[in-house]
Structure 1
Amino acid sequence: MKIITTNIGEKRDLIWKGKPVSTGIFKFPVAQPIFLDSQDVRGDEITDREHHGGTLQAIYGYSLKHYNFFKPMYPNLEWQMGMFGENLTIDDLDETKIHQGDVFSVGEAILEATVQRNPCYKLGIRFDDIRIVKQFWNTTMCGVYFKVLQTGFVKAGDVFEQLKSCPENPTIADLYIEKRLAKGLE
């Protein structure tokens, strides 16, 4: 696997359905390397620290291949990497094959797969269509949150290499399906 783009965003204050909202979901590719720190990506805005960032959700990775699934649903959207709020767009990140606890080396950093990303209404804001949240829930294309075991710089083109596999643990897709069932979304 390899990094296609690294993405960061700034805080945006906007009105959504008549209410003020602050969000950092508008992430865009950057040309310079980004620093993966222990709690987040340095310079990337996280407005909701209860659900994003922190030790277990420091870095969010999403697969480029998943874009092809969603693009036909939104043909008039101006597509670009970072659309799903990910810090790392990875060529082929497969949640059905990555287990909780798997460890990866990328650039100067070492990352551990921790949990799935559960979508919220802010994904609807990014797509300007709340339907994306349900469509996202109805897949296993949730992306992967990572814990940073070793901080460091990462850039587009870096190889995303697996160092350790934990097949005894649930996959990220399994965790996502479990969460979806717990929320009664089946």
Structure 2
Amino acid sequence: MKILATNIGQRKEIDWKGKKVTTGIFKYPVKEPIFLDVEDVKGDAICNREKHGGIDQAVYAFSEKHYDYFKKMYPDLDWELGMFGENLTLSDLEESEIHVGDTYKVGETLLEVTKPRQPCMKLGVRFNDMSVVKEFWNTTMSGVYFKVLQTGFVKTGDVFEKVVSKPENPTIAEVYTMKRKKKLG
């Protein structure tokens, strides 16, 4: 896995069907390295600390390969990396091969896999279509949250080097499928 883009978002207020929504999901690639801290990415807006950020969700990564699946459903969107609210767009993240507890050295950091992302209505706001939330749930292309074990900078081009493998733990895809079954019944 390699970082194709580092993405940062600012706090943004959106009028969504007559309701004010505050979000940080509108993330865009930046050229400079970004600092991965213990509970978040420095300079990146987190507007709902109950659901985003924190030790087990400090950094969110999503695979660039997953973009093609959603582009077919939403061809008229202005597609840019960071579209899914990810801090790191990776070249080939595969949720069915990454296990909870796997640890990677990337840039100056050490990152541990914690959980899949569960989509919320703000993904629908970003896509201007709430049906994307259900479509996201109907895949295993959830992306991955990381805990930051060693803080530091990462940049575009940095490669993920696995330093701890936890094959005895469930994969991110397995965890996501279990969560989907509980959520959707």
Deviation of 1:14 after TM superposition, in Å, equals 1.4
Task: Give 1:63's aligned residue.
Answer: 63
Q: Which runs of 5+ in 1 are unaligned?
A: none
Partner AA of 2:147 in structure 1: K
Q: Which runs of 5+ in 2 are unaligned?
A: none
CA distance in 2, matches of 1:137, 1:88: 20
Show CA shifts across 1:88-138 (max 9, x none): 000000110000000001100000000010000000000111111010000
1:28 and 2:55 aligned: no
SS of 1:62's partner is strand
Partner AA of 1:109 in structure 2: T
User: Number of paired residues?
Assistant: 185
CA distance in 2, matches of 1:125, 1:184: 20
TM-score (norm 2): 0.99
1:8-87 to 2 correspondences below 5 Å: 8-87=8-87
Q: List structure 1 segments (4+ residues) > 6 angstroms apart after TM superposition.
A: none
1:165 and 2:165 aligned: yes
Task: Give 1:100's aligned residue.
Answer: 100
Deviation of 1:36 after TM superposition, in Å, equals 0.2
Show CA shifts across 1:151-176 (max 9, x none): 00000000111111101001111110
SS of 1:174's partner is helix
Deviates more, 1:140-149 or 1:12-21: 12-21
Task: Give 2:4's aligned residue.
Answer: 4
Partner AA of 1:21 in structure 2: V
Task: Give 2:156's aligned residue.
Answer: 156
TM-score (norm 1): 0.98
Deviation of 1:184 after TM superposition, in Å, equals 2.3
Partner AA of 2:30 in structure 1: V
Root-mean-square deviation (CA), in Å? Answer: 0.6
